[in-house]
């Protein structure tokens, strides 16, 4: 029917439009970042960021992103997976019904709210607790990002574990394995690709998060000495660098900030695609078997 085809085409155009936007953003980012890569060469990954001297090395911010994300994952991965085991395998139905929506609600809290809580509570609490120069630090950023990545990891790992066929678990229990042995030897190994997808997506969130993190960091473009000293009031992430300096940036500085955006874009895209591939793998495994 003609009408059906018209409507189909309209929907196709709408769908194509969103793909077009992605490509547009992609090309725009590269185009704007290109002068920075061209002028700075490999120095763009160096650690000298000094606008007055025309040095735009974003290395310190890339390092900051890495270490803050790593810190966040040290918190979020064990807590997230344990939470998921509880909610999918151990919790009584009554608790399970309340637990999952509440955890997912945590993911819906706007990041500025996390940042606000961080700056009013955490910053003031951490400074005297660890005798730090100030409460603004990579550690503070890690703590907040860890909490923010938690709901994604819990919720997606929970889905993955629930997707493990009941027959598998029951077979394990039937041959005399305890509940814990079943979780350890059957549930987790079978759902490992789904759990990995959850972790990767959690990392993606941590890497791309801006607002909360830029509020609680020192935002100096320096690598702490020694580099793993997360208590020092220094260090920025790529996102906080962009958020901080785009307002007053001019000339090559803008291009260098776009170079940071390109790096973020690539990292997050890789994370998101590999998470998708892992999830498809788990679905295929159970559909096929």
The smaller minimum CB distance to other proteins, of residues 53 and 287, is found at 53
Minimal distance, residue 171 CB to other proteins, in Å: 46
Residue of 176, 173, 28, 149 lying closest to 83 (CA atoms):
149
Instruction: Rounding to the nearest 10 degrees, give the CA dihedral for residues 8, 10, 14, 15.
Output: 20
Q: Which stretch binds other proteins (CB under 8 A): 64-72, 109-117, 132-140, 181-189?
A: 132-140
Q: Does 258 interact with other proteins (rule: CB under 8 A)?
A: no
Q: How far is CA 179 from CA 158, 192, 193, in A?
A: 17, 18, 21
Q: Does 253 interact with other proteins (rule: CB under 8 A)?
A: yes
Q: Does 187 interact with other proteins (rule: CB under 8 A)?
A: no
The smaller minimum CB distance to other proteins, of residues 49 and 81, is found at 49
212, 142 Cβ separation under 8 angstroms: no
Residue of 171, 117, 127 lying closest to 147 (CA atoms):
117
Minimal distance, residue 253 CB to other proteins, in Å: 6
CB proximity list for 99: less than 8 A, separation 6 or greater: 86, 87, 91
Q: Which stretch binds other proteins (CB under 8 A): 140-148, 188-196, 232-240, 273-281?
A: 232-240
Q: What are phi and psi of 54, to 5 degrees?
A: 70, 30
The smaller minimum CB distance to other proteins, of residues 134 and 178, is found at 134
Q: Does 7 interact with other proteins (rule: CB under 8 A)?
A: yes
Q: Does 236 interact with other proteins (rule: CB under 8 A)?
A: yes
User: Could you give the string, one character per residue 112-131, with x where binding to other proteins holds by CB under 8 A and - elsewhere?
Assistant: -------x---xx--x----
Taken as a whole, the chain contains a residue count of 289
Secondary structure of residue 55 in the 3-state scheme = strand
- Count of C-beta atoms within a 10 Å radius of residue 29: 18
Q: Does 178 interact with other proteins (rule: CB under 8 A)?
A: no
Q: Give the count of alpha carbons within 13 A of 278, CB side only.
A: 21
Angle in degrees, CA 262, 263, 265, rounded to 5: 60
| Interface with other proteins in residues 10-49 (CB under 8 A) | 10, 49
Minimal distance, residue 138 CB to other proteins, in Å: 12
Q: Does 75 interact with other proteins (rule: CB under 8 A)?
A: no
| Interface with other proteins in residues 138-177 (CB under 8 A) | none
Angle in degrees, CA 161, 166, 167, rounded to 5: 135
Taking CB under 8 A as the criterion, the residue among 158, 159, 209, 245 binding other proteins is 245
Q: Does 233 interact with other proteins (rule: CB under 8 A)?
A: yes
Residues of this chain that interact with other proteins (CB under 8 A) are 3-4, 6-7, 10, 49-53, 119, 123-124, 127, 133-136, 214, 218-221, 233-234, 236, 243-245, 247-251, 253
């Amino acid at each position: 029917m003609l009408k059906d085809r018209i409507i189909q085409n309209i929907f196709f155009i709408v769908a194509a439009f969103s793909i077009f936007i992605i490509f547009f953003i992609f090309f725009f980012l590269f185009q704007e970042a290109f002068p920075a890569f061209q002028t700075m060469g490999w120095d763009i990954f160096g650690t000298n960021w000094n606008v007055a001297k025309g040095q735009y090395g974003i290395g310190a911010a890339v390092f900051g992103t890495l270490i803050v994300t790593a810190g966040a994952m040290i918190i979020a991965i064990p807590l997230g997976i344990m939470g998921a085991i509880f909610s999918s395998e151990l919790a009584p139905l009554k608790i399970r019904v309340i637990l999952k929506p509440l955890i997912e609600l945590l993911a819906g809290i706007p990041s500025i709210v996390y940042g606000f809580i961080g700056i009013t509570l955490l910053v003031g609490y951490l400074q005297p607790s660890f005798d730090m120069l100030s409460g603004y630090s990579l550690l503070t950023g890690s703590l907040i990002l860890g909490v923010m990545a938690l709901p994604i990891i819990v919720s997606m790992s929970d889905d993955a574990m629930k997707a493990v066929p009941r027959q598998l678990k029951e077979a394990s229990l039937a041959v005399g394995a305890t509940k814990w042995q079943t979780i350890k030897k059957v549930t987790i190994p079978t759902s490992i690709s789904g759990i990995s997808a959850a972790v990767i997506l959690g990392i993606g969130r941590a890497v791309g998060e801006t607002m909360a993190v830029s509020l609680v960091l020192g935002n100096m473009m320096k690598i702490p000495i020694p580099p793993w000293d997360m208590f020092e009031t220094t260090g920025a992430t790529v996102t906080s660098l962009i958020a901080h300096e785009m307002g007053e940036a001019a000339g090559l500085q803008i291009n260098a900030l776009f170079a940071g955006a390109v790096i973020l874009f690539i990292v997050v895209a890789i994370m998101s695609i590999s998470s998708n591939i892992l999830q498809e793998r788990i679905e295929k495994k159970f559909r096929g078997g």
